[in-house]
Amino acid sequence: MKITIKEIAQIAGVHRSTVDKVLHNRPGVSDEVRKKVQLIIDEFQYRPNQNGCALQKQNRLFRIGIILVDVDALPNLQAGIDLGLREFDSFRIETEFHTVRFSDAEAMAKHIDSMVDRSVDGIIVNPINAESVRRAAQRAAQKGIPLVTTNADLENVSRLCYVGQDGRRASRVAGRLMGEFVGGHGKIAVITSAIASESNNYYVKIRETEFIDYILEHYPAIQIVACIENMEDPKITLMETMKLIQREPNLRGIYITCGGVAEVGQAVRISGKDGKLKVLGYESYPQIIDMIRSDCVTCTIDSDIEQQGRIPVQILMNYLLYGTVPQQDNCYTDIKIVLKELL
């Protein structure tokens, strides 16, 4: 049975504008009324006429804010975002693009707040999981501005969707791989971005804690001798890895949760440990692939960073054009294991 917005409003005893607000997740409706209207929408399986919605908005200007962190993933995220925008090139889209330094949560929060103050239509952010950023993101939600997180997520924030790898699952995969690589015993180390800092990537933190928990549970004969912060800095990564290898001559494995896999591989090569020291990290940037080919990195777990740029644009534009809300809170990209034998 087909139903119209007018009929939904009549059944719910509300104005048509209230139904429209519920359909497009806009503010100005109480939770009780929103739930009542949504139940009717779901019961009759009402869907807006997408072609009609798109035609009505053909000449409208959409202003999209994009905030990314300046880390290894940045070029791939940008490339994916560009792909996503090209898919909607028949619409007028104005982007406001910013990058912030790793851990510069205050700069990121200011950019989000500024976008909210100027009522942009939507925000895509590769977030730093700090309280100031969470407050700014929640303010966007309260103002009815849809926000999509990509490559990392925010705790306890209402956002339209998270796009990226399932960090917990990938960490367990990493734990199993490392356990097998080192034969279930010996010394390994973890290199991560900012252990002590709140201004960290949420899923980098998950990669660290879940991996350690998995190793402790399934490989009790493996000893984690160090957890090193690299602050996503290539120079720090290279220097600290060299110190680690010199300090722990019997080290059998290194697990990297964040950027810097290529620099770890470089340290392994300089130390003459290529093919001996098992190195496991994430993503498949060209430098990492080169290190795998030369046996300086054993394996990487790719999460398709380019798709993590493209999909948020699709989700956001489909929401703005058609009112399409993602069926799930999380849109997970693939977990792909890359070994030398697969290249």
Dihedral sign (CA 325, 64, 164, 202):
negative
Question: What's the predicted TM-score (pTM) here?
Answer: 0.81
- pLDDT (tens digit per residue) in 219-231: 999 999 999 999 8
Position 1 scores a pLDDT of 56
Strands 278-282 and 222-229: unpaired
CB 191 within 8 A of CB 230: yes
Looking at residue 259, its pLDDT comes to 92
**What 3 state SS string does 79-135 have?**
HHHHHHHHCCCCCEEEEEEEEECCCCHHHHHHHHHHHHHCCCCEEEECCCCCHHHHH
> For residue 37, what are the CA distances in angstroms to 21, 222, 286, 315?
10, 55, 51, 23
Label the pairing between strands 61-69 and 122-125.
parallel
Name the DSSP letter for residue 324: P
Residue 75 tokens read as 């070029």
Rg (CA), the chain: 23
235-265 per-position pLDDT tens digit = 999 999 999 999 999 999 999 999 999 999 9
| Inter-CA distances, 222 with 166, 178, 214, Å | 25, 10, 11
Crossing angle between the packed helical segments 234-247 and 261-270, to the nearest 10 degrees: 40
DSSP conformation class of 325: P
Q: From 254, 249, 194, 269, select the one nearest 222 (Cα to Cα).
A: 254
Q: Which pairs from 158-163 meet CB under 8 Å and 24+ separation?
A: 160/122, 160/315, 160/316, 160/319, 160/325, 160/326, 161/312, 161/315, 161/326, 161/328, 161/329, 161/330, 161/331, 162/329, 162/330, 162/331, 163/307, 163/308, 163/311, 163/312, 163/315, 163/331, 163/333
Rounded Cα–Cα distance for residues 151 and 127 (Å): 8
Count of C-beta atoms within a 10 Å radius of residue 55 = 10
From first to last of its 343 residues, the chain has per-residue pLDDT tens of 567 888 888 989 998 888 877 876 667 788 888 889 888 888 887 776 655 555 555 678 999 999 999 999 999 999 999 999 999 988 889 999 999 998 899 999 999 999 999 999 999 999 998 999 999 999 999 999 999 999 999 988 999 999 999 999 999 999 999 999 999 999 999 999 875 555 567 778 899 999 999 999 999 999 999 999 998 899 999 999 999 999 999 999 999 999 999 999 999 999 999 999 999 999 999 999 999 999 999 999 999 999 999 999 999 998 998 888 888 899 999 999 999 999 9
